[in-house]
Amino acid sequence: MRKLPLVLIGVASIAVAAPAVAGPVEDFHQLQTDYWKARLKDSPRLATVAGVTTYDAQLDELSLAAMDREAAQAAAFLSRLNAIPQGALGIGERTSYAILERSLQNAIESNRFGARQMLFSTLGSAHDSYAGIGETQPFRTNADYENYLERIAAVPDRMRSYGEISVKAASEGFVQPCVTMARFPATISGNISADPAKSRFYAPFAGTRPATVGQAQWDSLKGRAAALIRDRINPSYRSFEQLYEKQLASKCRQSVGASALPQGKEYYAYLVRDYTTTDMTPEQIHQLGLSEVARIRAEMETVAKTAGFASREAMIADMRSNPKWYVQTPEELLQATAIQAKTIDGKMPSLFNRLPRLPYGIRPMAAATAPGDTTARYQRGSPDAGIAGFYLVNTTKLDQRPLWEIPALTVHEAVPGHHMQIATQQELEMPSWRKYGTYFTAFSEGWGLYSERLGIEMGIYDTPQKDMGRLGYEMWRASRLVVDTGIHSKGWSKDRAVAFMKDNTTLTDANVDAEVNRYISNPGQALAYKIGELKIRELRTKAERELGDKFDLRRFHDAVLGQGAVPLDALEAQITAWIAAERTRS
């Protein structure tokens, strides 16, 4: 399946020929400038997030032709890049070179698979991304609102393309498994509101009128938004809903593994390499997962016996069923989450010298997708665009959202996890394309999982249940190594994957089902978490051992985050160089 980031990226034709410049360093700088200009032109939503307002009224193209042009453009940039001798570049430039090279290679390779046409899954879909456009851009002036209206006016055309690509994909066998799609129609209908004022598309107009916008202008903007939603956007969603029911729903496949798709085995092997940024095989990852599961299970047994339970199973059963661990209203869940987040905020200076200036907020997930979604998500902000980050909490199925999981969940999604890492990256002195245009799942999700372990040093797991919750979350990510490779490489059924997750993790039934559906419909992505976390822990152990009394945890964390998201091999080189420099520091 073609990966869908927060910003859907399309490409328009643009010349990428290298201009005449003085030498390798200047050539590389010019290449980066040209590459970023092309990305911004072809990806208007990314440009908005990066604080570039030139394309605020435009929406990324969605077509197979655009994907082909994107790959061709990447090949042209790669050719220019490979002509530049790395030895002539400085250390920081060589890091940028390696990241750009990997990004361009992945853009080319991913486009070779027919699965690029699969534009919806349980982890993310084009129609849901469009409905959230207003959540990822600033609104301060009348022009901001005018641009937004022009941008969402393009949504019906994109929804038409979305349907056409999906029908073509289904005719070629690129479809999602039936077992993952039961709740999918609701994610479409959930974004159709009979009252336009209650639509997610209307959200920018639902608040207080900005002082910069006159009352007459405001009334006009609101009326135009309502009409656009009612007369054009809602019908485009209804059309896609009908298309799905009539032409796509029956085409779902009974098999669950990616290996059943055309080019399936080759595609899964690519996804494993891409998401983990390693050369590990599915079998190697499967065996690593089994080893980690056994290790964590033993730790869980120790916690259970210390807490007075006969076994880990008995303690987990109590944690899953005891009503004292659950709240009754969404507001109570959000309040408990907010208290935990502010408690962690107060502990951050003990772990980092450099803290990001960009704040983050807490709000519920979108109602249209939350029932089938995971427990929480992070939505990135932008210091350049003036947008805060957000910790999105799933407030549905409250009997499946235990209080004891909030500490581990919060350190992962907010700080020191995703918000800390991504906001820090956006504030570093580095090329803008690296601040906003690069993302490596193994690094970012590995850091999120590593952050859960930092909760031990913060002292937030102050009850056996919270500590078991932490171990349960670590077990959840270790189990993914087994389950994802089991499904997509070893022929596991969904039932077998669910049974493995229920036997080993602390997750409730609803979360287990949502998670397994996610692994089935998004092959490989879930492998990155544990692979990345283990690498960061390995590098910390190496630094502690080699530096001894000179090891400073805050400086180590600053070093890990100091180059933004990077592939794991680049991270290892980065920390090895940092250790050498620390040895000489007085």
pLDDT tens per residue, range 171-192: 999 999 999 999 999 999 999 9
pLDDT tens per residue, range 191-249: 999 999 999 999 999 989 999 999 999 999 999 999 999 999 999 999 999 999 999 99
Q: Is the dihedral of CA 192, 198, 199, 200 positive or negative?
A: negative
Q: What is the pLDDT of residue 586?
A: 80
Q: How confident is the model at residue 109 (pLDDT cuts 50, 70, 90)?
A: very high
Partner residues linked to 125 by β-bridges: 120
Do residues 371 and 396 lie in contact, with contact meaning Cβ atoms separated by under 8 Å? yes
Q: What is the pLDDT of residue 19?
A: 53
pLDDT tens per residue, range 475-525: 999 999 999 999 999 999 999 999 999 999 998 888 899 899 999 999 999
Question: For tokens 């994907």, what's the residue?
Answer: 67
Collapse the DSSP code of 326 into the 3-class scheme (helix H, G, I; strand E, B; otherwise coil) and give the result: coil
pLDDT tens per residue, range 377-402: 999 999 999 999 999 999 999 999 99
CA neighbor of 151 nearest in space, from 53, 44, 50, 59: 59
Cα–Cα distance for residue pair 58/348, rounded to 1 Å = 39
Sheet holding 389-393, edge to edge: 360-364, 389-393, 376-379
Neighbouring C-beta atoms of residue 341, cutoff 10 Å? 20
Cα–Cα distance for residue pair 218/234, rounded to 1 Å = 22
Cα–Cα distance for residue pair 100/81, rounded to 1 Å = 8
Cα–Cα distance for residue pair 312/503, rounded to 1 Å = 10
